[in-house]
Structure 1
Amino acid sequence: MKNQQTIRWVLWILSVTAILLTAQVAKAATLNVDTNDPACSDITGTPYCTIQVAVNNTASSDVIEIAAGVYAENVTVADKSLTFIGENKDTTIIDGGHANSVLTVTSVTNLNINLEQLTLRNGTAAVGGGINMALGNLVLSDTDVSNNTVTHVGGIYVGSGSIELVDSSVVDNTATGTCGGVYIASGDLTLINSHIDDNTAAGGGGLYVINGALTLTESSVDDNTSSNIGGLYHAGGFLTMDHASVSNNQTTTSYGGMYHFSGDVNITDSTIDGNTAAGNMAGAYIESGTVTITNTSISQNNSVGTVGGYFQNTGNLTITGSTLDENTSQTGTVGALHHANGITTITDSTIDGNSATGIGAIYQQTGTLSITNSSVRDNQSSSTAGAIMSVGDLNVLNSTIENNHADGTAGAIYQTTGTFRLTNSLIANNTSDQHIGGMYVTGNFIGTNSTISGNTADDHIGGLYLISGGQLYNMTIVNNSADMDNDGIGDGGGVYAGAGVVTVSNSIIALNEDRGGESPDCAGNVTSGDYNLLGQDTGCTFTALANDQIGTGADPIDPEISNLFDNGGETFTHSLLDVSPAIDAGNPAGCFGDGGVTLTTDQRGYPRPSGSACDVGAYEVGDCGDGHLDYDEECDDGNGVNTDACTNMCLTATCGDGIVQTTVDECDDGNTVDGDGCDSACNEEAAVTPTPTPTPDPVDEPADTDTDTDPSTSPTDTGSTANSGGGCSLNTQALPTNYVGMIGMIWLFTITFIALRNRRHTPSNT
């Protein structure tokens, strides 16, 4: 009896739930609009002729389905949450006729408005030509808002709430005042696979978000135009860009691409390219926040004023795997990146081909700048620094600073205040029309395992100018030139020590040039830390220690190095030829860097020492078989196997070298001659056997005419039992899965039927 009561209660609860669910579903009605249907009317139950009449007959949360057609309307929704669904955005069009906003939503409470597969066009109003919504959450899916003209906010305006655009676009809208595309005064804006493009305004061509998160995913804010802030303005909140683009926007004053006022920023796999500003800040301007930029391009932005590419005022900045290329500040401070105050960390990135009046590529105004595994190339400045200016600590690791030019002070780097650490890096072929071809350093300089090569200055120092002194460990400073115009102004082709003392250890300073002849390799107060190779000491106060190799003007020492080449590692290096006096000429106790730290690798990251002592300079000659390719090796796989593609002599295996290459050669007799058993392709040749002369039989035997065939050996004999099982064969194929399932269902049905039948005939205890 208890079981029966339980069953009745369960059935009652399920019935009530079903009724409630049915009632809930019934609350949302679907109304149809079809202006092309001859039967359309204002009567409920028939398709409505206009969207407005349908709206008037809806309750909140209803759905209005709109057939294909052009609806010349200015629709108003008051205090209702509604969903509008068209057949297709290309065929279902609401045309405002430039009479008012295409869609106006009024409410004192938060509403939800959804638009799907529609086009809203040709609205004209004071605010919000396409959509004007005071309060609520707006979602557009596969919908276009276009060709609207207003005083403020050409496309979409939401006062407070949220906006989400999915597979939608806001394009070709115009505002004579603020914001051509999308504006939300308070709330979040989310774009997913959507586009805010080709809009025009006096301020903020693309979009405005005043207070809320801005998220762009696989979306674009491109080709917008404004007299101030061409692309987007984000006043406060978290900014996220993922596979997004803010590109080719332009402004007649400042901020061509984007302006972010406050809040953290995360930009991934995106582009901020081709923006222009007739004033300042063409690419991106970040006032404050912690910024992370990954796998992103900030390139080809062009400003007449201060910064071409990227400016950040405060907060830390991390750039990884990105490019800042070909940005231009025509008359302003910085070409690529200006960080006013904070920590900048750049890794695995390229900063190439930028130009400015002041600093060609990077200006770290205050704070610390660190560059790792990156390149800074082909940047130009008409005054201060071709590549980098840093006021504060500067760290350059495993990086290349190359082919930069300045008309003024420093071709590559100008560093003041703090400590500059150059490690495992290359400073090469930078030029200055005036003072220093390579680096001008007023802070404390610590150079380790690095190469300074081929830098030139018309007037003063070719390679490195150290005002306050510094330390050089395992450095190679070669082929730099001072006083290129030979006017007698300037000294120090390689290193010039200013007021401070420069201590040099285990380093090569040679083959540098001073056109006036005063001090080719070094000038000023340069002191030995031992185990150095100085090409010539002319014009230098260098005092040799016991293990230094010092040349003179009359008898300079040639370090016997190769040209700059890719010898492995992150940067190019000068390898030591096998006759170089720098080989094994370092400290036999080990290579030591700043603070006595043992250096276990060279500039390339290859082990050192490889011989009895470290090699002098930034390059360590390895042994054949160490797995590292050196200048005189064709290959080095480091495996000790002589029969693979690389021999134990570090030569590429070839046919004819006398070594049989596994899986490649059948033979190798040390030559490429055919006909000797191993041909010219190292394939075995078959032995040549002479054909014997036949001898006639003395007696002609009759030919055997017996054509009998042994049935036991004839494969075609029908009496043969070969390949026969001698009887029937057993088919062991398993039953199909569906048969097993069918049998299981039959058993389940049978058991259930029997149980119900038995229960029916069981006497009740009541």
Structure 2
Amino acid sequence: MRNLLLLGLMVCASPLLAAPPVTYTDYNVANLNDSGPGSLRQVLTDALAATGNPRIRFSSSISFPGAIELQSPLPIITKGTVIEGAGMNQLEITRHASISSLRIFEASSGLTLTDMTLSNGRAETGGAILSRSTLTLTNIRITNCVAKGADDFGAGAGASGRGGAIAHVSTSSVAFFMTGCEIANCQALGGSGSIGGGYGDGGGLFFDHTGSVTIEYTNINNCYAHGGSGGTMPGAPGRGGGLASVAGTNVSAFTLNSVLVQNCTAEGVAGGGGWTGAGGYGGGMYFDTDSGYIKLGVRVASSEALGGDSASAFQGGDGFGGGIYLAGANNYLVIRAEIESNTSTGGSNSITNGPSHGGGIYAAGTGTVSIQSTRIWGNTAASGAGVTVVAGALTCGSSCIDNNTGGGIVLHTPSGPHAITNCTISGNAAGTAAGPNAGGINNLGTDLTVTHSTITANSGTGIVHSSAQQTTLQATIVAANTGTGPDLSGSIFQDGGYNLIGEYGDVVFVHGVNGTIVGGTGSPVDAMLGSLQYNGGSTPTHALGASSPAIDAADPLNAPSHDQRAAPRTDGLPDIGAFEFGAVPPSSGGNGGGGGDDGSCTTGTGGLNWLLLLALLAVLGLATRVRRV
């Protein structure tokens, strides 16, 4: 019996016992000199030459706050190393003002950095840090660093500048962990050349490897990516003002949780030599990956994708994805995010300005983009200011797309199908791009199904359909929009039943058929909607008034179990639209974006494992201690 008990305890506790304790050799930095005995440089040199994995700390006898001003590169990290600073506001490692170019850290093996500021680094790839192995950063601030590609005005092209703060580059599977960090005022600048410019990729962070990336509780602020000019050939784009993961990257897992990206810009260079301006893609973030899992729990705000101007007869450069640009064959999950006040701007030209699409999100990949529990609002573009999808499929749930200038959602893609469920699309203004425009949804592509959603107060028609495929509405409110229509306009709409259409326009929905409520020109149906506000849940909604005809009027046999706010539909008589009258959402629902999901939270089983481990240690009579050399 005792053996069985021990076996059970060992099985339950095995995840806690699997990894042996890491053994470090401790070293102390005694001063803040650039070189000489006791300096970080000398300690690091000695530690890398010795056996064992070094852990480097700063002596308490040093007078902080203080700075190390580097006049030459530090030794390259060639084995697993930990460097623990004295605090983000206490220790700064910076390039000396007399040195024109110097990167702070370069690592070919695992590196862990904590509690310090890195500043004024400058290199072609990774202004502050270039890592080719596992990199772990905790409580790190990186400011005023630049990745600048080399110029070539002979017979060549400019080189790319990648990762103003950090470049994480490897041909193998490596890991990147960042938590509690700040990246500010960093730039990735492409070099200029006589026959082409270099890319500016990742003003803050740049990734090109096949491993995993995890970023939590981190701010990326005021970073910039700009392409280089091309002389007699086209210049280059800027991609990912805050963060870029480039084409061909096959990151196995890319997870962002509670990350703030704001005031970042991706700008294409102005056209020269008779060429168009280059594009700006992903003012906040740029992803072009072909495999793996991408989860974005972020707030992206006040960022811009800016196309380069053109002085010739050619048009200005593209401005796509003011907040986020998504490409590649990967599937993307944007969850509990807030995409706010971003702008896509095409480059100017005296004849034709460049196109601007996707002020919030521009999706050009062939996979599925899933937007869940997210608010996309206040963004600006000529078309698809909230979300533009030009390839792949869109799945949108429990989200609010509101007050965007240039339309809420535009679907160009011939693939799909697309699905919008439990969403509010409100207060958006139609775009200015050529062709049909809608304030709410503009479906130019394939099949779209809109279920239990509320589409209202948009200027320029609620939904425009101009595709050979069809748009199906189920238990959805489309009312009180303005423009030609004003609620519905287009060719092939399918009444999936139990809708409320304020004014049908040129779309033939019949009042009373399939449970649908329809108003006509001059006699629209009033859905009796409240103002857009937080009524519980993570995103804003329009509450139903007590006398709304939408109450208890949806299909009792075919409704989602919860409304947009995660309030249960339990009375057997669901309401039309995204809001269930009288239902109470869970108290945990907030009104902020960028939280990600709760997958990182500890559950009760963790406590049980610890109890089992303690019991195992008691039975076996073991003692634990941390090994230190």
- Using structure 2 for the length normalisation, give the TM-score: 0.68
Structure with more contact order per residue of length (Cα contacts < 8 Å, sep ≥ 6): 2
CA positional deviation for 1:229 = 3.3
User: Counterpart in 1 of 2:496?
Assistant: 529
Aligned length: 463
CA positional deviation for 1:293 = 1.0
The one-letter code matched in structure 1 to 2:438 is I
Match of 1:326 among 235, 260, 263: 263
Name the stretch that deviates more: 422-431 or 218-227: 218-227
The one-letter code matched in structure 1 to 2:490 is A
Match of 1:338 among 261, 264, 286: 286
Matched, 1:454 2:402: no
CA positional deviation for 1:463 = 0.9
Which residues of 2 match residues 439-478 of structure 1 at below 5 A? 439-442=410-413, 443-459=416-432, 460-466=437-443, 467-478=445-456
Q: Is the 8 A contact 1:284 1:309 kept in 2?
A: yes
Distance change >3 Å, CA 130–CA 497, structure 1 → 2: same
User: Counterpart in 1 of 2:353?
Assistant: none
CA positional deviation for 1:186 = 2.4
Distance change >3 Å, CA 160–CA 430, structure 1 → 2: farther
Distance change >3 Å, CA 477–CA 114, structure 1 → 2: closer
CA positional deviation for 1:499 = 1.9
Distance change >3 Å, CA 205–CA 546, structure 1 → 2: closer
Secondary structure of 2:260's counterpart equals coil
Distance change >3 Å, CA 573–CA 523, structure 1 → 2: same
Write out per-residue CA displacement over residues 452-494 of structure 1, whole angstroms, 9 at most, x where no aligned residue: 1111124411111222021111111111122xxxxxxxxx443
Secondary structure of 1:320's counterpart equals strand
CA positional deviation for 1:273 = 2.3
User: Counterpart in 2 of 1:389?
Assistant: 362
Match of 2:303 among 354, 376, 384: 354
User: Partners of 1:605 and 1:119 in 2: how far apart?
Assistant: 54
User: Counterpart in 2 of 1:191?
Assistant: 83
Match of 1:208 among 91, 106, 118: 106
Match of 1:438 among 385, 389, 409: 409
Distance change >3 Å, CA 159–CA 528, structure 1 → 2: farther
Q: Is the 8 A contact 2:126 2:147 kept in 1?
A: yes
User: Partners of 1:188 and 1:225 in 2: how far apart?
Assistant: 24
The one-letter code matched in structure 2 to 1:183 is P
User: Counterpart in 2 of 1:718?
Assistant: none
User: Partners of 1:585 and 1:549 in 2: how far apart?
Assistant: 9
User: Partners of 1:130 and 1:566 in 2: how far apart?
Assistant: 52
User: Partners of 1:578 and 1:397 in 2: how far apart?
Assistant: 28
User: Partners of 2:450 and 2:26 in 1: how far apart?
Assistant: 68
Q: Is the 8 A contact 1:204 1:229 kept in 2?
A: no
User: Partners of 2:390 and 2:93 in 1: how far apart?
Assistant: 43
User: Partners of 1:134 and 1:272 in 2: how far apart?
Assistant: 25
User: Partners of 1:569 and 1:256 in 2: how far apart?
Assistant: 37
Write out per-residue CA displacement over residues 357-398 of structure 1, whole angstroms, 9 at most, x where no aligned residue: 221111121211111122111111111210112222011111
Write out per-residue CA displacement over residues 5-62 of structure 1, whole angstroms, 9 at most, x where no aligned residue: xxxxxxxxxxxxxxxxxxxxxxxxxxxxxxxxxxxxxxxxxxxxxxxxxxxxxxxxxx
Distance change >3 Å, CA 114–CA 192, structure 1 → 2: closer
Which residues of 2 match residues 687-698 of structure 1 at below 5 A? none
Which residues of 2 match residues 480-491 of structure 1 at below 5 A? 480-482=458-460
User: Partners of 1:558 and 1:617 in 2: how far apart?
Assistant: 13
Matched, 1:429 2:403: yes
Secondary structure of 1:183's counterpart equals coil
Distance change >3 Å, CA 398–CA 562, structure 1 → 2: same
User: Partners of 2:398 and 2:466 in 1: how far apart?
Assistant: 22
Q: Is the 8 A contact 2:27 2:55 kept in 1?
A: no
Secondary structure of 1:363's counterpart equals strand
Write out per-residue CA displacement over residues 284-316 of structure 1, whole angstroms, 9 at most, x where no aligned residue: 111112101111112221233322101123202
User: Partners of 1:115 and 1:505 in 2: how far apart?
Assistant: 67
Secondary structure of 2:220's counterpart equals coil
Q: Is the 8 A contact 2:218 2:259 kept in 1?
A: yes
User: Partners of 1:374 and 1:323 in 2: how far apart?
Assistant: 10
Write out per-residue CA displacement over residues 387-437 of structure 1, whole angstroms, 9 at most, x where no aligned residue: 11222201111111111111x3310111233331111111111112xxx44
User: Partners of 1:385 and 1:577 in 2: how far apart?
Assistant: 33
- Paired-residue identity, %: 24
CA positional deviation for 1:113 = 10
- Using structure 1 for the length normalisation, give the TM-score: 0.56
User: Partners of 1:395 and 1:122 in 2: how far apart?
Assistant: 52
Matched, 1:494 2:442: no
Higher-Rg structure is: 1
Secondary structure of 1:137's counterpart equals helix
Match of 1:277 among 166, 185, 188: 188
CA positional deviation for 1:206 = 1.1
CA positional deviation for 1:320 = 0.9
User: Partners of 2:266 and 2:100 in 1: how far apart?
Assistant: 23
Match of 1:604 among 556, 565, 568: 565
Write out per-residue CA displacement over residues 84-132 of structure 1, whole angstroms, 9 at most, x where no aligned residue: xxxxxxxxxxxxxxxxxxxxxxxxxxxx995652454577xxxxx9857
Distance change >3 Å, CA 225–CA 203, structure 1 → 2: closer
Q: Is the 8 A contact 1:307 1:335 kept in 2?
A: yes
User: Counterpart in 2 of 1:137?
Assistant: 47
The one-letter code matched in structure 1 to 2:327 is Q
Q: Is the 8 A contact 1:135 1:161 kept in 2?
A: no
User: Counterpart in 2 of 1:166?
Assistant: 57
Secondary structure of 1:457's counterpart equals coil
Name the stretch that deviates more: 463-472 or 200-209: 200-209
User: Partners of 2:403 and 2:41 in 1: how far apart?
Assistant: 58
Secondary structure of 2:117's counterpart equals coil
Q: Is the 8 A contact 1:590 1:614 kept in 2?
A: no
